[in-house]
Amino acid sequence: MLRTVTSEANARARVPASPLPDQPVVRLGRVPYLEAWELQRSVHAARAAGERGDSLLLLDHPPVVTLGRSGGAEFLRTDGPLQHPALGPIEVVRTDRGGKITYHGPGQLVGYGIVSLAERKLFPASYVHAMEAVLVEALRILGLDTKAEPGRVGVWTEDRKIASIGVRVIDGVTLHGFALNVENDLTPFALMHPCGLVDVHMTSTRAEGIGASLDEVGEVVAKAWLERFPPPARGAAT
């Protein structure tokens, strides 16, 4: 029988003080999923209280499958514990983000945007579109032609999906974000119907012939993010 870990217990716990610097982009390296979820919550609480500015947290995760608010075990291709021949057991975590199901693993660039939509004059849908535009621009700089498709959240190159997006908004401030496949093993996606799509084919920058490393892709994405979500001018009111 499939065992899932839930982030709901984390959500009920006291929110810790944010241990992260108040910077527009914070690079974290490899962080276990639930630990990253705690970091998101602490940054979110500080942002909602007006104690810090918007931030993009860039990181990757050890192998984990996450289920969104509209996702469930029906999108997995097995009823038992998830096991991958190279990666071993893969934890399944039920989250509070939008969307259905996806995989995170080493070499995949994950970006968690903690953004005040009111201050940016954005609605949730326009924020998602802005995030898609950031990734499309970053991938263009890297030499890969991609697109956002109406009605299908994420970023695509031809008929292959290279980035997934799922967010939540609490008190006008966003949580969660995007997952861009860079140099991660794509075979774990075969354990599920990614994003709840039966016929989707997942790809990565490496699979598409882009040789940039995870860190190099992260640098390009960070610059594209700051173009779209620039920090306020020093001394400006927020």
Domains in the chain: ranges and CATH:
24-228 (3.30.930.10)
d(CA 188, CA 137): 27
Instruction: Please provide residue 188's backbone torsions phi and psi, each rounded to the nearest 5 degrees.
Output: -60, -20
pLDDT in tens, 124-173: 999 999 999 999 999 999 999 999 988 888 999 998 999 999 899 999 99
- Around Cβ 159, how many Cβ atoms within 10 Å? 10
Reported confidence tier of residue 13, pLDDT bands at 50, 70, 90: very low
Under 8 Å between Cβ of 203 and 157: yes
Instruction: Please provide residue 52's backbone torsions phi and psi, each rounded to the nearest 5 degrees.
Output: -160, 170
Reported confidence tier of residue 184, pLDDT bands at 50, 70, 90: very high
The whole-number pLDDT of residue 80 equals 66
The residue ranking higher by pLDDT, 63 or 193, is: 63
The whole-number pLDDT of residue 11 equals 45
User: Judging by beta carbons within 10 Å of its beta carbon (0-12, 13-18, 19+), is residue 145 exposed, middle or buried?
Assistant: exposed
Reported confidence tier of residue 2, pLDDT bands at 50, 70, 90: very low
The whole-number pLDDT of residue 18 equals 56
The whole-number pLDDT of residue 6 equals 52
- Out of 191, 195, 222, 224, the active site residue is 195
In which region does residue 151 sit, left (phi positive, over 0), alpha (psi from -120 to 50) or beta (all else)? left
The whole-number pLDDT of residue 163 equals 96
Reported confidence tier of residue 16, pLDDT bands at 50, 70, 90: low
pLDDT in tens, 37-93: 999 999 999 999 999 999 999 999 999 988 877 666 677 767 667 778 778 788 888
pLDDT in tens, 94-127: 877 767 778 899 999 999 999 999 999 999 999 9
Has 195 been annotated as catalytic?
yes
Kindly report the pTM of this predicted structure.
Answer: 0.89
